[in-house]
Amino acid sequence: MAQKILLAAMLTAVLSASAMSARQLGTGTHAVLACGSACTNLDTCKKPCFCFGLFNGNTTGVCQPEGPAPAPPK
């Protein structure tokens, strides 16, 4: 009886590991960008930053902690 329980537990562990591996392979590699880096809508910025500037047809932005950068002084 104990052998059947152990076998079932091992089989469950193997199936769980293979399912996670298949999911990771399907998503591909994805770099996490540092704050201040240029980014696209497919990139992930390191917390607490987000990719700002992806509006009005722009394809790139900048990883920033909050909102767009202030306008430069005149």
Name the token pair of 16. 């769980």
Look at the alpha carbons of 16, 17, 19, 24 in this order and tell me if their dihedral is positive or negative. positive
What's the pLDDT at 2?
85
What's the pLDDT at 30?
63
Q: Which long-range contacts (CB under 8 A, 24 or more apart) does 66-72 make?
A: none
Give the predicted TM-score (pTM) of the model. 0.45
Q: Name residues whose C-beta falls within 8 Å of residue 15's C-beta, 6 or more positions apart in sequence.
A: none
Look at the alpha carbons of 30, 34, 37, 39 in this order and tell me if their dihedral is positive or negative. positive
What's the pLDDT at 14?
73
pLDDT along the chain (74 residues), means of 10: 86 69 56 87 86 80 77 72
Residues counted in the chain: 74
